[in-house]
Copies of this chain bind each other. A is one copy, B any other.
Amino acid sequence: MKPSKPAGTQTATLAEIAREAGVSAPTVSKVLNGRADVSPATRTRVEELLRAYGYRRRRAEASRSPLIDVVFHELESAWAMEVIRGVENVARDAGLSVVLSESAGRLTPGRTWADQVAARRPHGVVLVLSELDESQRALLTSRSIPFVVMDPAGDPGPDVPSIGATNWQGGLAATRHLVELGHTRIGAISGPTRMMCSRARVDGYRAALETAGLPVDPSLVVAGDFHHDAGYRLGLELLRRPDRPTAVFAGNDLQALGLYEAARELGLRVPEDLSVVGFDDLPVARWVGPPLTTVRQPLTEMAEAAARLVLELGSEREERAATRVELATSLVVRSSTDVPPAA
């Protein structure tokens, strides 16, 4: 979590940084405290030096606000609600309030999101399917504001602590279940391929087919975003094929519900004509007709783990090696999967 520093410069005092920047120590202090009354040029120069020296504020704890920040890639669907609830549970026990942001295109007059966070000094930041760029990381690190990535979209790098779920194992379990029911022609709707969790799920699907000695037909794997509409659209595409699959592993529950709609529209019954497996186990999975067989991802527990980890990172004197924790997924069999229709 520490940016690289010039060789040999283990530490630099605030006064030394001020001297090198050609400003007064109180000005450096203002920059550190996120005050607005510093010219942009000075601010940039001081920030750069703070980063270069890997300067970490002393007495960080005393000046922290009783807040924990959560940043979402997008703030939508019951998925986000499960995550918010987990962070809120941990925050409440710690006497903290939760600040919520959406990362996508948050441009505020004169201040970026990271500047706002630096100014309000939360106990930590949980990033959900969302990432920091190099300068944002450096800014938070210079303020001793720890951060943890939940369900990293890309590969956050070995130095970023993260919490995820066993996506690959989930894809494997979902597909094995379909294979065991006798399906041999199984499609997959993937989430966005730029997200590692999507890739891992589809790789688990492939591994299940391969270990069962079944052929992997790449044309049966389609990808879209994680919304209902993608499941509907890609579902129609798969189900309209003359050689349509008898079962589909969807990238998440919302896609699975979109697939339900596509099947209804084509007059196909679930599970008699089509078996469907989802991923997430949102509350709605139990409520739809037929109740959805899905891979349970413990979202609330993952969010709790992320929030607890970020508070631990903030309360430790020493830095510790970055952690990657994956919580276990589990297959929940309900009524949307059955043996394939007689040929």
Contacts and interface: CB of A to CB of B under 8 A. Distances in A.
B109 A95 contact: yes
Contacts of A284: 78, 257, 284, 287
A81 B80 CA distance: 8
Contacts of A116: 66, 97
Contacts of A109: 95
A190 to B, nearest CB: 20
B75 A100 contact: no
Contact of A76 (B85, B120, B258): B85
A65 interface: yes
B288 A287 contact: yes
Nearest to A120: B65
Contacts of A66: 108, 111, 116, 120
A88 interface: yes
A101 interface: yes
13 contacts: A66-B116, A67-B120, A76-B85, A77-B81, A78-B81, A81-B81, A92-B106, A95-B109, A99-B99, A257-B284, A258-B287, A260-B289, A284-B284
Given A75-B81, A98-B100, A288-B289, 15 more contacts: A66-B111, A78-B81, A81-B81, A92-B106, A92-B108, A95-B109, A97-B101, A97-B120, A98-B101, A228-B286, A228-B287, A260-B289, A261-B287, A284-B284, A289-B289
